[in-house]
Amino acid sequence: MNQAKIIAQLKGGDREKAFARLYRYFPKIERYIKMNSGSKEEALDIFQEALIVLYKKVQTISTHSEVNMDGFLVNTCKLLWSNELRKKKVRKNSGEDGLQQLAYADEIAEQVEKERKLSVIEEVLNDLGKTCKDMLNAFYYKRLSMDSIAKKFGYKTVQSAKTKKYKCMEHARKLAIAANEESNLKTSAL
Amino acid sequence: MRKELMEIEKIEQYLLGKMNGEEAKAFEQVMASDHNLAESVAVQKEMMEGLERVGLKTDAQTGYRRYKLKMWASQIGIALGVLIIGAGIWYFVSLEDKKAYCICSEKEMATIEHSEDAMPNQPECIDTCPPAPMIETPIIESEIEEVTETAEDLKIITDTILEIDTIINIEVLDDEHYSGTGGGSDNSNMHQTDNDNAIQPEFPGGRSAMRQFIATNIRYPQNAFNQGITGTVEVSFSISETGQLGNYKIHKSVNNELDAEAMRIIKKMPKWSPGKVAGEPTSMNFILPIVFEIREE
């Protein structure tokens, strides 16, 4: 379909619409994962992760680039699912060689690893409390101005909203450092 | 604002690229010598990426909901399409039935060609004609009038609620003058039933049981119904001393389909109780008329 339009939507703010369009590839992935001893829920998780990887990829290219989104998504899902299977120890090394040959394999693997590390931060943000999480999301992800954030969250002045935002970031940072130390301890214990 | 918070603000400005070139350079120099600051920047950067990840996940979930809604909507669309096509066929079929009926109520036993020719002259039939056939319990001739009255009453009701229905009457006329008539002339060994001492053979359970039997088993032949063919088929048969039925013949024919259906029903009947003459079981002939009629209510 209209690939350039999806890229434009992913680069502009219309991520939800772009994702809704890209979900038409999901049935294919669902079949693939179900055929490889997975469930629909797992397929949904894998596909969602692949959408994030694709999003990051799209941020690095121009709107008119020729990217086979379908192929990129499928390859990402294959790599992600192979990782998942290895984690589950269902399959040891079989099929790995084939996956190295996939287009964008290195690029995808790199991004997948980045996202895996970010899942620690994801947990930190979930522990942060709703107001802080929403506020940081509004500023950093939705890129709302501090004016509108102050109004939205009911602060009388922009400055007090800013202060709250920095306090939230401070709190989040502390939680993240603690979480990193914990995961480092776990890793070294292993 | 506290010192720590001011540091966070600075890091944010640096990471979002809001510092000018000189400021950024100066900041990077401080970072190079200040390990703690460098680590804080790294964590804050990670936090921003984590926020993006969480936001993207939420958007992906919203996207999935939209996708499912779209799929659902398109499936509903397909279902509606089928429904409309289905209704179209049903309406078409029912219209055909109406034609057949209307013509036949005007000209009995009309053929298809006749009905097609006559159609344009009788458009009013289409409004009142029925969609689906059903079979009413056959009735005895003596009861027809009563039932017709009921039908008249029903018509008023059905017209008001705009529910048009057809009733196909398959009537059984087993009036006494039919039974045991001239059959004797065919078979000299058969006794005439006008003998005063004669007792009629009887379907087990009597007339009402026979009506019930016919009503539950008979089907109005589809082609005959579509073509609006109606009429009375008379089937003659014999009832032996033991009550066994035999010698089935079409005494009066309407068309092959209706004859066959009437014959099928009679042949399906169980043993009758035999007729008696002077108390002795005797074989007798019997003619049973079956009326095929399409009626509108």
Domain end call among B21, B47, B66: B66
Q: What's the Cα-to-Cα distance from B116 to each of A45, B110, B217, B229, rounded to whole Å?
A: 65, 10, 32, 14
Are B138 and B62 contained in the same domain?
Answer: no
Are B193 and B291 contained in the same domain?
Answer: yes
Percent of chain B whose predicted confidence (pLDDT) is above 70: 58
Position B224 in a domain: yes
Helix (H) or strand (E) holding B88, with range, is helix B35-106
pLDDT tier for residue B138 given thresholds of 50, 70 and 90: very low
Q: Which residues of A fall within a CB distance of 8 Å from B54?
A: 122, 125, 133, 137, 141
Cα gap B143→B27, rounded to integer Å:
109
Instruction: Look at residue B20 and tell me whether its pLDDT is greater than 80.
Output: yes
Q: What is the pLDDT of residues B174-233, one digit of tens each?
A: 444 344 444 433 443 444 444 456 788 888 888 888 888 887 888 878 888 777 788 888
User: Residue A108 CB: number of other CB atoms within 10 A?
Assistant: 24
- The answer to whether A15 faces chain B, any CB pair under 8 Å, is yes
Cα gap A85→B209, rounded to integer Å:
73
Instruction: Check CB contact under 8 Å for B54 and A137.
Output: yes
Degrees to nearest 5, angle at CA A77 with A73 and A83? 150
Q: Which residues of A fall within a CB distance of 8 Å from B47?
A: 121, 124-125, 136, 169, 172-173, 176
pTM more than 0.95: no
Domain extent at residue B19: 3-66
ipTM: 0.86
Q: What is the pLDDT of residues A109-161, one digit of tens each?
A: 888 888 888 888 888 888 888 999 999 999 999 889 999 999 999 999 999 99
Instruction: Look at residue B288 and tell me whether its pLDDT is greater than 70.
Output: yes
Instruction: Look at residue A29 and tell me whether its pLDDT is greater than 90.
Output: yes
Q: Which of B277, B262, B288, B292 is nearest to B178 (CA)?
A: B288
Are B280 and B140 contained in the same domain?
Answer: yes
Supply the pLDDT for residue B169. Answer: 45
Helix (H) or strand (E) holding B92, with range, is helix B35-106
Taking the CA of residue B297 as centre, how many other CA atoms within 13 Å lie in the half-sphere pointing to its CB? 22
Are B33 and B162 contained in the same domain?
Answer: no
User: Residue B108 CB: number of other CB atoms within 10 A?
Assistant: 12
Degrees to nearest 5, angle at CA A55 with A51 and A58? 135
Instruction: Return the structure tokens found at B211.
Output: 């009506």
Cα gap B67→B73, rounded to integer Å:
10
Q: What is the pLDDT of residues B269-281, one digit of tens each?
A: 999 988 888 888 8
Q: What is the pLDDT of residues B37-84, one digit of tens each?
A: 998 999 999 899 999 999 999 999 999 999 988 888 777 766 655 555
Question: Quick one: DSSP state of residue B181?
Answer: -
Position B223 in a domain: yes
Supply the pLDDT for residue B110. Answer: 32
pLDDT tier for residue B85 given thresholds of 50, 70 and 90: low
Q: What is the pLDDT of residues A36-49, one digit of tens each?
A: 989 999 999 999 99
Supply the pLDDT for residue B101. Answer: 38
Supply the pLDDT for residue B77. Answer: 63
* SS3 assignment, position B223: helix
Q: Which residues of A fall within a CB distance of 8 Å from B43?
A: 173, 176-177, 180
Supply the pLDDT for residue A154. Answer: 92
Domain end call among B18, B34, B66: B66
Which residue stretches of chain A are H helix?
3-11, 15-22, 26-35, 40-59, 69-88, 96-100, 105-127, 130-136, 146-152, 158-189
Query: How many whole angstroms from its chain centre is CA B219?
Result: 16
Cα gap A172→A101, rounded to integer Å:
40
Position B164 in a domain: yes
- β-sheet with B275-277: strand ranges across: B198-199, B275-277, B280-282
Are B170 and B289 contained in the same domain?
Answer: yes
- How many domains does chain B fold into? 2
Are B140 and B62 contained in the same domain?
Answer: no
Instruction: Check CB contact under 8 Å for B52 and A141.
Output: yes
User: How many angstroms separate the CA of residue A81 from the nearest CA in chain B?
Assistant: 18
Cα gap A14→A11, rounded to integer Å:
8
Position B20 in a domain: yes
**A152-156, B25-29, B146-150: which has the minimum mean pLDDT?**
B146-150
Domain end call among B46, B66, B86: B66
Q: Judge contact between A169 and B8, C-beta under 8 A.
A: yes
Return the CATH number at B280: 3.30.1150.10
Are B162 and B46 contained in the same domain?
Answer: no
Are B24 and B161 contained in the same domain?
Answer: no
Are B138 and B215 contained in the same domain?
Answer: yes
- The residues spanned by each domain of chain A are 1-116, 128-190
Are B267 and B191 contained in the same domain?
Answer: yes
Supply the pLDDT for residue B155. Answer: 34
- The answer to whether A45 faces chain B, any CB pair under 8 Å, is no
Instruction: Find the residue in B nearest to A176 (Cα).
Output: B43
Supply the pLDDT for residue A53. Answer: 92
Position B83 in a domain: no
Strands (E), chain B: 135-136, 166-172, 198-199, 231-239, 245-252, 275-277, 280-282, 284-296
Residues 6+ apart with CB under 8 A from B58: none
Tell me the count of A-B CB pairs closer than 8 A.
Answer: 113
